[in-house]
Chain A
């Protein structure tokens, strides 16, 4: 299958899963009843539609930032979830929420995304400092750093529960698991503000990230301003991941699995990888969200559980293959 066909197929699957998502849920809906003043129309416009759009954006951002992080760290295992960026963002948002209590709603709901963004920047810089050496990227350091940050964030978020009021408690556990439930139009607006620059700018760095994959010195010799490029990448990754984490919690493995699938189909060229990862990420997270509503219907699972149940084994599979290919994955 050639590359044009693959991207055509992905684009065609998008409206399909969108419709599926809109008609799936505890209240059965047919699309003729969505106009007018019925319960069905309420469910459609106030619950399903914002949820779908939020899911699409979150999936696209998670997958695209995952692909960018892997090129930045020159390693296909560098998923923002695994290396701790998501956890750092969640912890930072959690601290701000518990400290501020009810005044957290100030700034039009932008405060938590901003806190998550700041947490994301700090963690990315930390991982970059610890994992990137003159000789290249130390995978061991990168993953160990992720383990440490994930552990700290987990403990931190757990500890915050002691200081949290009741409604904050729900929010804290929601961050740990990742959920698309309770998506509202105003959340969507906040995510749009962060996601649009990320989704717009990252694909423009495709060729520069390709140069970076040759190595930092090699990229510099080919005319890339390496320091500046890395700085922009770190900010965009942290912005995207931070915003998604603030609104949906930690949804793991999308940033790992999706770029991997795209690379298998079209190769590692970031000029194709980034946009197609965004597209496939949107499609797959929507599918995961549909599953999360179907598996224990009429209740629903947090979507982070679904992505972890699919992504975890996938990660193990990657590790086995990596072992066979002696270090190159």
Chain B
């Protein structure tokens, strides 16, 4: 379990997050929602220990995340970041293999694991292609596969910052299913999304962020209501109940 207490962060005199309290529970998927600049990525960076908070603390079980040895942290926690600056022409299978680095597998086991994840993300036909020659959506799928390959037996936390932003519908659904499978294995997942429908489909818990503050948190039905979402995004959002769950439609810039 990951516990964040009273997190605050500011950069260059601008306050990015104020007094965030959050619990991420093993087996549950938490989806962070909020407009651009609300502090979603900053929050993930604090949860992963990439940034240190100005005040407050993040604990993974009973250990502070910021005090973890990097190698140990890589075993306990995997994270997909929004920016992926790789610009050297590695092959796709080489990129995924880098995700196995913390697991310290031998070359045979690494090759097996890489193959497994290439198959899981339908990247088999791209395995020998150069990463730099792929389309944006394909690159994102490769990087997500790399991060998922890092999730081993000891992993407790998976953090994903807009992992589907460039994927087509099929791969969005594919990834949602993979995330579910990871959660079922007892990993606590926290994912930033912009698509309200995907969020409703995936989340056990929704957290709404606005201007660095937590606006609301709770199950989909309680938090994702028309008025709250309309106020949050400053655009009118309509909720349509269907047999397969709620759907959200945004209409009209005002």
Q: Are A268 and B90 in contact (CB under 8 A)?
A: yes
A182 to B213, CA, bound (A): 69
Flag if B87 contacts A223 (CB, 8 Å).
no
> If the complex has contacts A135-B83, A215-B81, A267-B94, are A223 and B88 also in contact, measured as CB distance less than 8 A?
no
Q: Which residue of A lies closest to B71 (CB)?
A: A223
B residues within 8 A CB of A211? 98, 101
Chain B residues whose C-beta falls within 8 Å of the C-beta of A215 in the assembled complex: 81, 83-86
Contacting pair B81 A222 (CB below 8 A): no
Assess whether A297 is interfacial by the CB under 8 Å rule.
Answer: no
Q: Is the CB of A220 within 8 A of B70?
A: yes
Given A74-B88, A215-B83, answer yes or no on A222-B132 (Cβ-Cβ < 8 Å): no
Residues of A within 8 A of B79 (CB): 221
Nearest CB in chain A to that of B45: its residue: A217
> How close is A167's CB to chain B, nearest CB, in angstroms?
46
Residue contact B70 to A214, C-beta cutoff 8 Å: no
For the A-B complex, the count of residue pairs with Cβ-Cβ distances under 8 Å equals: 77
Q: Write the B57-85 contact mask toward A (1 if CB under 8 angstroms, else 0).
A: 00000000000001111110111010111
CB distance from A110 to the nearest CB of B (A): 36
Q: Which residues in window 39-57 of B have CB below 8 A to A?
A: 45, 48, 50
Provide the residues of chain A in CB contact with B102, threshold 8 Å. Answer: 222-223
Size class of the contact patch on chain B: 20 to 34
Chain A residue at minimal CB-CB distance from B132: A328
Could you say which residues of chain A place their CB within 8 Å of the CB of B71? 223
Residue numbers in B under 8 Å from A75 (CB-CB): 87
CA distance A75 to B86 in the complex (A): 10
Residues of A within 8 A of B84 (CB): 214-215, 218
Which residues 211-262 of A have a CB within 8 angstroms of B?
211, 213-215, 217-218, 220-226
Question: Contact between B70 and A76 (Cβ–Cβ < 8 Å)?
Answer: no
Set of chain B residues within 8 Å of A267, measured between Cβ atoms: 89-91, 94
Task: Kindly state whether residue A197 has any CB partner on chain B within 8 Å.
Answer: no
Chain B residues whose C-beta falls within 8 Å of the C-beta of A137 in the assembled complex: 85
B212 at the interface (CB under 8 A from A): no
Chain A interfacial residues counted at CB < 8 A? 28
With A224-B70, A267-B94 as given contacts, are A213 and B86 in contact (CB-CB < 8 Å)?
Answer: yes
- List chain B residues, Cβ under 8 A from A214: 84-86, 95, 98
A30 within 8 Å of B (CB atoms): no
* B163 at the binding interface (Cβ < 8 Å): no
Q: Is A136 an interface residue (CB 8 A)?
A: yes
- Verify A213–B90 contact, CB threshold 8 A: yes
Q: Please determine whether A268 and B89 come into contact, CB atoms closer than 8 angstroms.
A: yes
- Taking CB atoms, residues of chain A closer than 8 Å to B78 are 221
Asked if B74 contacts A221 (CB within 8 A), the reply is yes
Residues of chain B in range 135-164 having any CB-CB distance to chain A below 8 Å:
150
* Interface: B34 (CB within 8 A): no
Give residues 80-119 of B contacting A (CB, 8 Å): 81, 83-91, 94-95, 98-99, 101-102
**Residues of chain B contacted by A217 (CB below 8 angstroms):** 45, 50, 81, 83
In the complex the two chains form, is B81's CB within 8 Å of A223's CB?
no
> CB distance A268 to B70 under 8 Å?
no
CB distance from B20 to the nearest CB of A (A): 20
Contact of B85 among A74, A224, A225, A268 (CB under 8 A): A74
- A210-B98 in contact given A74-B85, A136-B85 (Cβ < 8 Å): yes
Among B73, B81, B101, B102, find the residue whose CB has the most chain A CB atoms closer than 10 A. B101
The answer for the CA separation of A210 and B132 in the assembled complex, in Å, is 15
Taken residue by residue from 14 to 47, chain B's Cβ proximity to chain A (1 for < 8 Å, 0 otherwise) reads as: 0000000000000000000000000000000100
Tell me, in angstroms, the Cα distance from A208 to B90 when the chains sit together.
15
**Inter-chain contact B73/A223, CB cutoff 8 Å:** yes
Contacts of B91 in A (CB 8 A): 267
Chain A residues lying within 8 Å of B88, measured Cβ to Cβ, are 71, 74, 76, 213, 263, 268
A178 to chain B, nearest CB (A): 28
Separation of A224 and B99 alpha carbons in the complex (Å): 12
- Contact A221 B48, beta carbon cutoff 8 Å: yes
- In the bound complex, CA of A74 to CA of B85 (Å): 9
Q: List 27 A-B contacts (CB under 8 A).
A: A74-B88, A136-B83, A137-B85, A207-B101, A211-B98, A213-B88, A214-B84, A214-B86, A215-B83, A215-B86, A217-B50, A222-B74, A222-B98, A222-B99, A222-B102, A222-B150, A223-B70, A223-B73, A223-B75, A263-B89, A267-B89, A267-B91, A268-B88, A268-B90, A269-B90, A328-B87, A329-B87
**Which 4 pairs show the lowest CB-CB distances between chains A and B?**
A223-B74, A268-B88, A223-B71, A215-B85
